[in-house]
């Protein structure tokens, strides 16, 4: 996805970190770069809006809290998967 314009942060990189951005899990520098990209890029901003709305709907629909043991297992598994997945090369 791209609007065809040059950005300091390319669309693929911005979208790769969209969920972390939505969850407030990026550092201040990454946050500023992604926010700037979203201000400049209509297609990525649309994607952001869709994901933000979906996230709100899911959060509103899911009101049960996972047991601490299950949550710990899921967090550990997600960390393991992130480590195993090699970054994609943009070319």
Per-residue pLDDT of the chain (91 residues; tens, 9 = 90+): 667 777 888 898 999 999 999 999 999 999 999 999 999 999 999 999 999 999 888 888 877 788 899 989 988 888 776 655 565 655 4
In a domain, 26, yes or no: yes
In a domain, 48, yes or no: yes
Residue 90's pLDDT is 52
In a domain, 91, yes or no: no
In a domain, 3, yes or no: no
For residues 42 and 1, is the Cβ–Cβ distance under 8 A? Answer: no
- Look up the CATH number of the domain holding residue 76: 1.10.10
In a domain, 5, yes or no: no
What's the structural domain count of the chain? Answer: 1
Residue 91's pLDDT is 46
Residue 62's pLDDT is 75
pTM over 0.85: no
User: Cα separation of 8 and 4, whole Å?
Assistant: 13
The whole domain housing 49 covers: 11-84
In a domain, 30, yes or no: yes
């Amino acid at each position: 996805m791209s609007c065809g314009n040059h950005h300091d942060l390319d669309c693929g990189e911005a979208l790769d970190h969209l969920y972390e951005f939505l969850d407030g899990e990026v550092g201040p520098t990454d946050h500023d770069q992604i926010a700037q990209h979203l201000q400049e890029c209509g297609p990525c901003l649309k994607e952001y809006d869709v994901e933000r709305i979906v996230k709100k709907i899911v959060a509103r629909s899911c009101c049960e809290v996972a047991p601490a043991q299950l949550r710990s297992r899921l967090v550990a598994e997600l960390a393991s998967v992130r480590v195993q997945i090699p970054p994609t090369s943009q070319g």
